[in-house]
Amino acid sequence: MTDREKFISNVTASLGRSTVLVPSDESGTDSTAIFEDAATAKSHADRAMSYASERSTELIDRMANMAAVNGWKVHRAGNPEDAADLIADISEQKGAKSVLRSTHEVLTEIGVDSAVTNTGATLGVTEHSGSIDANKIEQAKSDAFTADIGITGVDYAIAETGTVVLHPRSGLSRLVSLAPPTHIAVLRPNEVLDSLTELFAMERNDYLSGDLAGSMNLISGPSKTADIEGTTVTGIHGPLEVHLIILENR
């Protein structure tokens, strides 16, 4: 067992979980955060995406399993209509009056707007992340903190840890996934990477090519915090409930 595997095994045992995930060494995208050459960065990123595409079925299954372990409520949708129905069902179950969504393309593809508004909830779209207009900033904050549900797509997902990765930017305020008590993330199979190694390969390439979004949120389940006595409380610094809707591609 490698040092990395021992570390993950110890952390898993400390968390009281019975399933110990053994990292894969097959992708070959190691040393991703060391090199400075742009061509090498692109090569590593291309290799990471090629691996993700070739092993998409396996990776999406691993992602679903690890996400469930980490507290995500995982749903699988066979088509866009099913995904929209799931979002409508969740909105109705939560009694949502106000819903906020990002501008991720996948949300438009599945028809999330009509799915939400047909339940009677009002729908807002984040448009002004990064704006220097003080009034717009305050309005965006107010919209986020008064929304019952925040809906986003996914920029990347990490199968190794069941993590969703979001890059805050225009059209995606970080508050959409953090402020509402319920967060729904819609995931496509080709967005699932094997591990953090592949994610860092993508980030390094984006940085050296000048396309890095600036920051990222890594979401591995509902918000949790614990006091010095180890008493865990859910939903204090973020959503109390998180749903992952996986669009099947088999």
Q: Which amino acid is at 82?
A: D
Helices (H) and strands (E) in the chain, counts: 9, 12
CB atoms within 10 A of CB 170: 13
Query: What is the phi-psi region of residue 151: left when phi exceeds 0, alpha when psi lies from -120 to 50, beta otherwise?
Result: beta
**Class for domain 56-247, per CATH?**
alpha beta
Query: Which residues sit opposite 172 in a β-bridge?
Result: 169
Task: Tell me how long the chain is.
Answer: 250
Give the integer Cα–Cα distance in Å for 199 and 144.
28
What is the distance between the alpha carbons of residues 224 and 216, in angstroms, rounded to a whole number? 19
What's the pLDDT band for 26 if we cut at 50, 70, 90? very low
**pTM reported for the whole predicted model:** 0.81
Ranked by mean pLDDT, which of 32-41, 108-117, 160-169, 198-207 comes out on top?
A: 108-117
Tens digits of per-residue pLDDT, 77-86?
999 999 999 9
Task: Give pLDDT, residue 41.
Answer: 84
Q: By the 8 A CB rule, do 240 and 223 touch?
A: yes
Instruction: Convert the pLDDT of each residue in 57-105 to its tens digit.
Output: 999 999 999 999 999 999 999 999 999 999 999 999 999 999 999 999 9
Asked if 156 and 122 count as a contact pair (C-beta separation under 8 A), the reply is: no
Question: Could you tell me which residues are beta bridge partners of residue 157?
Answer: 164, 192
Percent of the chain residues past pLDDT 70, beyond the cut: 78
- Lateral strand order in the sheet of 163-166: 192-193, 156-158, 163-166, 217-219
- The residue whose two tokens read 């220097």 is 132
